[in-house]
Amino acid sequence: MRKKSKLSEQKNISSVLASLMAIVAGLIFGLIILFISNSREAWPAFLTILAGGFTEGARGIGQVIYFATPIIMTGLSVGFAFKTGLFNIGASGQFTCGAFAAIYIGIKWTFIPPGIHWLIALLGAMIAGAIWGAGPGILKAFFNVNEVITSIMMNYIGMYLVNMTIVKTVYDALKNQSKPVAQSAILPKAGLDKLFNTGNLNIGIIIALFAVVIVYIILQKTTFGYELKACGSNKDASRYAGINEKKSIILSMVIAGALSGLGGGLLYLSGSGKHLQVLDILSPEGFSGISVALLGMSHPIGILFSGLFIAHLTVGGFNIQLYNFVPEVIDMIIAVIIYCGAFSLLFKQLINKFLAGRLQGRDPGETGNKGES
């Protein structure tokens, strides 16, 4: 029992240390880029990035929360699928489909009572994302088609389909984007805009926190979650144990898609002036979600903190233009830091080997002490 507890503790420690090593490696690389670009002002610019939203007080923290909300949702989407043995790289397409559904309902369905208009729009976003996630899940379950390939294809299909549908339904030709949603479809502020002195903030972060808790409970505390994880670990053994592996695969992708779709709805119903533009560009929030999930080790709580951290750096990156750094350098630094998050799995393996060696070295001594007593 004690050995099992030690192994569990070792696993938790290695996960945290791996993420921290990835962050440190990314920051060091970013500092090198700054010095190459402008050595005289590199250090103060680097400190500005580290300060993030804290440089602007409550308003800056509010901006961090605003930027974190959608990538927490796409991070949960990728992390949930990964925990169940699937790699949902289609979060971008699911995010875009969810965003369009929310915008369409927010513009066209004005017959809905104002008190629940935003809620119906978010439900529509979840359904659209779930449908878009179901496609790769069905192909994986019944035809064993790799979900990475199909989800990448669905990203582009979703992008072009949404662009075409926007033009036919809710198009603002003058600005080449979707029209503004009705006021009743905008998420309630709940006093958060006054608390953090920014009009962008609303109950979206509360919904994201609720989603984190729900995903954690499903994965860690329910039989349903155990079956999904068991199927992801060993499909054949799960089938032998009586688990319907096809159903588990499809449901995993449906839930992952719903989470991404909800993220799209939360962003585009925030009342921040955000619109879906008719451009042949995939939503970056979906790919940021992959990095957030990797950095958070696919654990819901880890994803929450990694999403806030990435958003914190993003807000800090906006301010380094004061030190004569062009925006492209800012994007590069943030991209490198996010990219290093992918190496957290490698760091975890190295730390596990180190901790396992120390644990084996201690066991004989502990056994000897027990014999003496």
What confidence score (pLDDT) does residue 178 get?
Answer: 97
Cα–Cα distance between 233 and 235 in angstroms, integer? 7
Taking only the tens place, the pLDDT of each residue in 101-111 is 999 999 999 99
pLDDT of residue 291: 85
The overall average pLDDT reported for the chain is 88
Highest mean pLDDT among 27-41, 50-64, 73-87, 307-321: 73-87
- Which helix H or strand E contains 178, and what residues bound it? strand 177-178
β-bridge pairing 171-172 and 177-178:
antiparallel
Share of the chain above pLDDT 90, in %: 63
Q: Whose CA is closest to 297, among 22, 6, 9? A: 22
**Sign, Cα dihedral of 23, 25, 28, 34:** negative
Give the per-residue pLDDT at 237: 83
Query: Each residue of 281-322: pLDDT tens digit?
Result: 999 999 999 889 988 889 999 999 999 998 998 888 888 888
Tell me, what's the pLDDT at 56? Answer: 86
Amino acid at 274: K
Which of 46-50, 237-241, 357-361 has the highest mean predicted lDDT (pLDDT)? 46-50
DSSP string, 278-340: --S---HHHHHHHHHHHHTTT-HHHHHHHHHHHHHHHHHHHHGGGGT--HHHHHHHHHHHHHH
> 114-143 vs 91-108: helix axis angle to the nearest 10?
150
Q: Which of 310, 74, 313, 93 is nearest to 208 (CA)?
A: 74
pLDDT bracket for residue 195 (50, 70, 90): very high
Among 257, 344, 204, smallest CA distance to 78 is for 257
Least confident of 8-17, 75-84, 165-174, 211-220: 8-17
Q: How much is the pTM?
A: 0.90
- Least confident range from 32-36, 112-116, 254-258: namely 32-36
pLDDT computed for residue 322 by the predictor? 81
- Work out the pLDDT band at 239, boundaries 50, 70, 90: confident
